[in-house]
Chains A and B, each alone.
Chain A
Amino acid sequence: MTNPKNAVPPLSLTAELTHRCPLHCPYCSNPLELLGRDSELDTAAWRDILTQAHEIGVLQIHFSGGEPLGRRDLAELIEHTAGLGAYANLVTSGLGLTESRLQSLVDAGLNHVQLSVQAADAATADRIAGTRAHHHKLIAADLIRRTGLPLSVNVVLHRENHDQLAAIIAFAEELGADRLELANTQYYGWALQNRSQLMPTAEQLAAAEPIVQDALLRLKGKMQIVYVIADYPEKYPKPCTYGWGARQITVAPDGTVLPCPAASAIRTLQLENVRERSLAEIWYESSSFNAYRGDDWMSDTCRTCDRRELDFGGCRCQAFLLTGDAAATDPVCHKSPDRGVVDLILAEPRRTGFVMRSPSR
Chain B
Amino acid sequence: MTPRIRRGVRLSHDAVRNTPVILHPEGVLIPNATASAVLALCDGERSLTEITDLLNARYADVRPEQIRDLLDRLADKQVVEWT
Most chain B CB within a 10 A radius of its CB, from A9, A55, A111: A111
Q: Which single residue of chain B is at the shortest CB-CB distance from A9?
A: B16
- One of B4-12, B33-41, B44-52 contacting the partner: B4-12
Interface-lining segment among B23-31, B53-61, B63-71: B23-31
Inter-chain contact B17/A57, CB cutoff 8 Å: yes
Known: A111-B10, A221-B81. A179 touches B25 (CB 8 A): yes
Shortest Cβ distance from residue B34 to the other chain A in the assembled complex, whole angstroms: 21
Residues of A close to B42: CB separation below 8 A: none
B17 near A224 (CB under 8 angstroms)? Answer: no
**Which residues in A have their C-beta under 8 angstroms from that of B12?**
59, 85
In the bound complex, CA of A59 to CA of B23 (Å)? 8
Q: Which residue of A lies closest to B9 (CB)?
A: A150
Residues of B close to A57: CB separation below 8 A:
14, 16-17
A60 vs B30: C-alpha distance when bound (angstroms):
13
Q: How far is the CB of A155 from chain B (nearest CB, A)?
A: 16
Chain B positions near chain A (C-beta within 8 angstroms): 6-8, 10, 12, 14, 16-17, 21, 23-28, 78, 81
Q: A60 CA to B26 CA in the complex, in Å?
A: 10
Closest to A54 in B: B16
Closest Cβ–Cβ distance, residue A39 to chain B (whole Å): 30
Among B7, B8, B12, B26, find the residue whose CB has the most chain A CB atoms closer than 10 A: B8
Residue interface mask A136-174, B partner, CB < 8 A = 1: 000000000000111010000000000000000000000
Residues of chain A from 1 to 30 with CB closer than 8 A to chain B in the complex: 9, 11-12
A338 located at the interface, meaning its Cβ lies under 8 Å from any Cβ of chain B in the complex = no
Taking a contact as CB atoms closer than 8 A, the residue among B7, B16, B28 that contacts A150 in the complex is B7
Q: Residues of A contacting B10 with CB < 8 Å?
A: 87, 111
CB of B4, distance to nearest CB on chain A (Å)? 13
Whether B28 lies near A89 (C-beta < 8 A) is no
Complex Cα–Cα for A165 and B80 (A): 28
Given contacts A9-B16, A149-B7, A150-B7, 14 further A-B contacts (CB under 8 A): A11-B27, A11-B28, A12-B27, A55-B16, A57-B14, A59-B14, A59-B28, A87-B28, A89-B25, A111-B8, A148-B7, A150-B8, A152-B25, A178-B8
B17→A150 contact, CB < 8 A: no
Prevailing SS type, chain A contact patch: loop
7 A-B contacts, Cβ less than 8 Å apart? A59-B12, A111-B10, A111-B23, A148-B7, A149-B7, A150-B7, A179-B26
Q: How far apart sit A224 and B8, CA to CA, in the bound complex (Å)?
A: 14
> A12: which of B7, B14, B17, B28 is its contact (CB, 8 Å)?
B28
Q: Contacts A87-B10, A148-B7, A150-B8: A59 and B25 contacting too (C-beta < 8 A)?
A: no
Closest chain-B Cβ to A286's Cβ sits at a distance in Å of 19
Contacts of B26 in A (CB 8 A): 179
Find chain B residues with CB under 8 A from A303 CB: none
A residues near B24, Cβ cutoff 8 Å: 87
- Does A71 sit at the interface, judged by CB under 8 A? no
Q: State the CA gap A164–B57 with chains docked (Å).
A: 55
